[in-house]
Structure formats: structure tokens, C-alpha cells
Amino acid sequence: MTQANRNRVYIFDTTLRDGEQSPGCSMTVAEKLRMAHKLADLGVDILEAGFPIASEGDFEAVTEVAKELPWVQVAALARACRLDVERAAESLAHARRPRIHTFIATSDIHLKHKLKKSRQQVLEEAVAAVELARQSVDDVEFSAEDATRTDPDYLEQVSRAVVAAGARTVNLPDTVGYSVPSEYAELISRMAQALGDSAIVSVHCHDDLGLAVANSIAAVEAGARQIECTINGIGERAGNCSLEEAVMAMKVRNDRLPYHTGIATEHLYPASKLLAELITFGPQPNKAIVGANAFAHEAGIHQDGYLKEKSTYEIIDPRSVGIPAGRLVLGKHSGRHALRDRCSHLGYTLTKAELDAVYDAFIALADRKKGVMDREIAALVERVTVRAIAAD
């Protein structure tokens, strides 16, 4: 394998499964199909389209996505039990590139309180589910739910056993968003060494401590080669690792993170917009990469630098993520440079004295408001310049 191949990170998108199973995010089959097309444009490697045993809608979504996008690798989720695995296999019956993703919890806390099963029982059920899935498809992924709170020796035992049973990908989720990057990297490094080339180690991080992206990136540095993530970081509770953040971190800081994905990053913003249209909320304004303020500059010092040379305050070319350009927001922290620039965009060429007068009026207005709109700036310019003409 070449170094380039070794450093290829697969993007497993779970917007339509983990993302969809969070409050305010459920989608109809038609909506999932629209989103699936966008995810295909984006170039995700694996698209998890649903949890077929959960509902007829999820079953249909997996079937339809696989039918409409035959070139995409489509995954269906299944608990590690016969009914789930068979239902997942059925939903993928016509898929050209099917993957069954089966999971069971491995931490003692889940075994004792949720599953009420012994470690041995869980190990046997994991292996049986993988073997059963392999009877229908070649591509089987196994997830050890709550891996980060699982005894590492037992986790390694389960991981080796499912690979021997035919799993090609072993996913080690930080299900409750509890891990920190150094700790997660240690776990991933150990499992990647244990599995070697026999399986791809995958990561799936939740954002309960705001560390999902950092944990995923640390895991890649430690040997993981699949990241499970969602557009806008939607997902259970605080969400999943944000696809756009993880991908852009590896692209922008490729000097420190020499990994690559198949993502066409100029589709990131359109994908984020479409998702926001389909569910009940969009990303928060200050969300990295796709938030409304991600490329907005308000402080005067920043605006001055940005107008002279964009790279002073922008580390990402907005066009590379599908946003036409950065923007200057005019508010009380803005300076004359930005105001003059905006006035000239609005068609006004001001003398120094006019600019000073408009600037004073602008600051007085901005002090009373959260931001000043273009039409208000135009009105200020008209008022100030008319007054100046009258005074002549």
C-alpha cells in the first residue's frame, strides 16, 4: 500500500441515521432522498441511511437511497441480533454496494444495567451477528457501543473476534462523549496495532464535552481511517462529530494532518443549507465552517486587515466550502475603512470630510443597534451629503 493510500480517511456519513434520530431532526423518505443526493455530491464514502428495524420509513429510506444512488456505499444499522440483521439485509437486497453495520454495547455499565448480559454472552452475540450479516453481504462493520468506557482488554478481545468472524471495519464509538483526545488516541492506537491490516478502525464521537471533532482527529493521528460524522454535527444529545469541521481541519492543516478524504469541500455549505431546510434548526451563527458568522468580520482592526489582505484574518477561502465570499459586518466596532468600502459598494464615493461625517452618524446609530443594514447606511450618506450641499 502506498503512503497516499495509507493516509486516506473514509468519511462515513450518519446524518440520516444518528443525526436523524435526534429531536427536531426526523425526515420523511423523500427528504432523506434529497439529502442523500447532496451527500453523494459531497462525495461521502459511506452513507448510513437508516435503522431498518426501527420503522417502515427507515427501511424504505435505506432501500430507496440504495436504488437511487447505486454507486454509493449504503449502510443499514442493526443491533447484534437475528431480527435486526435480517431486516437490514432485506432493506439492502437491491443495493449494489451494501454494508451492514451491526452493534452491541461492550462496557460493563451497559452490560449490567441495560443488557443484563455477561461479557461472554455479548462476545458470542457480536460474533454471531457478524457471521449472520456476512451471509448476506461482504461488507460488515461492527460497533462496540460505549467503547471508551469498556475495559480495553475485553474491547480488544471482542474486536479480534468480530474481525475473525468477517467484520471489515471495527468502530469504537465514544457513545457518551466522555473521552478526551489523548485518552482516545491511546485506545485507538492500541486497537489499530492489534488489528493491523485485517480491518479498518473507525471512530464515532459524540459531542457531550464539545470534543467530538478533536477526538476524531486525534484518533486519525493514532491510526483510525474512518470517521463517522454528520452535517452540522447533528445527532443524539449534543450531536456527533461535525463532518465539515473534521474534513476542513485535515484539509487546512494538512501540514500537521497529512490525511486526505474524497470530500468535494465546495459542497459543504450547500449540504449544510439543505439540511437546515429539511429539519427544524440550522447551525448556530458562530458554528465553524458553515455558521452565518463563520466568515463575517466586525471589529475595525480585523476589517482593516481583511481589506488589505484577506489572509490576515481568514484561514479558509470561503469559496472552498461553497460560500461566495467573506463579509464585513458593520457595527459599532467597525472602522472607517470598512465603512468607506461598503459605501463604495453601495455606489457612493465620499470625500474625507463626508466620510468623517457619515462615520460619526454611523457610530451613533450603531451604538443603539445590533448591526447596521445597507439601507440605513445609504440613508445616512444621503442625509449627510444633502446637508453638506445645503450648507455650501
- Helix spans in the chain (H): 3-6, 29-42, 56-68, 82-91, 108-110, 119-136, 152-165, 181-195, 212-221, 243-252, 268-278, 300-308, 336-345, 352-366, 374-391
- Provide, rounded to whole angstroms, the least separation between the CB of residue 240 and ligand KIV: 8
If the CB atoms of residues 172 and 250 are measured against ligand KIV, the closer one turns out to be 172
- Give the Cα-Cα-Cα angle 14, 19, 20 (nearest 5 degrees): 110
Applying CB under 5 A, the span of 17-25, 194-202, 260-268, 277-285 interacting with Zn ion comes to 17-25
Say if residues 124 and 159 touch (Cβ distance below 8 Å): no
- Closer to ligand KIV at the Cβ: 172 or 222? 172
Provide, rounded to whole angstroms, the least separation between the CB of residue 227 and ligand KIV.
12
Does position 103 bind ligand KIV by CB under 6 A? yes
Q: Contact with Zn ion (CB under 5 A): which of 9, 15, 16, 18? A: 18
- Nearest-approach distance from CB 126 to Zn ion, in angstroms: 17
Binding residues for ligand KIV restricted to 177-206, rule: CB under 6 A: 204, 206
Q: What count of Cα atoms within 13 Å lies in the side-chain half-sphere of residue 392? A: 6
Residue nearest to Zn ion (CB): 18
With respect to ligand KIV, which residue has the nearer C-beta, 27 or 80?
Answer: 80
Q: Please tell me whether residue 52 binds ligand KIV under the rule CB under 6 A.
A: no
Q: Nearest CA to 44 among 13, 88, 84, 8?
A: 13
Residue 94: which residues within 8 A CB-CB, separation 6 or more? 63, 66, 67
Sign of CA dihedral 189, 195, 197, 200: negative
Q: Is 163 helix (H, G, I), strand (E, B) or coil?
A: helix
Figure out which of the listed residues 10, 11, 12, 18 binds ligand KIV, where binding follows CB under 6 A.
Answer: 18
Residue 93 CA to residue 91 CA, distance in Å, equals: 6
Count residues contacting Zn ion (CB under 5 A)?
A: 1
Q: Is 64 in the site for Zn ion (CB under 5 A)?
A: no
Only segment of 14-22, 75-83, 244-252, 291-299 that touches Zn ion (CB under 5 A)? 14-22
The one among 159, 175, 261, 265 contacting ligand KIV by CB under 6 A: 175
How many CA atoms within 13 Å lie on the side-chain side of 85?
A: 22
Q: Note whether 306 binds ligand KIV by CB under 6 A.
A: no
Strand, helix or coil at 284?
A: coil
| Min CB(355)–Zn ion separation in Å | 54
Cα–Cα dist 12/48, whole Å: 7
Cα 235 from Cα 30, distance rounded (Å): 20
Q: Quick one: 47 or 330, whose CB is closer to ligand KIV? A: 47
169 binds ligand KIV (CB under 6 A): no
CB of 281 to ligand KIV, least distance (A): 20
Give the list of residues 6+ apart from residue 139 with CB closer than 8 angstroms, or none.
73, 97, 98, 99, 100, 168, 169
Shortest distance, CB of residue 28 to Zn ion, whole angstroms?
A: 22
| Residue 99 or 206 having the CB closest to ligand KIV | 206
Tell whether residue 302 is a contact of ligand KIV (CB under 6 A): no
Q: Which is nearer to ligand KIV, 60 or 146 (CB)?
A: 146
Tell me how far the alpha carbon of residue 372 is from its chain's centroid: 32
The residue from 52, 98, 166, 173 that contacts ligand KIV (CB under 6 A) is 173
Residue 174 contacts Zn ion per CB under 5 A: no
Residue numbers at the binding site for Zn ion (CB under 5 A): 18
Residue numbers at the binding site for ligand KIV (CB under 6 A): 18, 103, 143, 145, 171, 173, 175, 204, 206
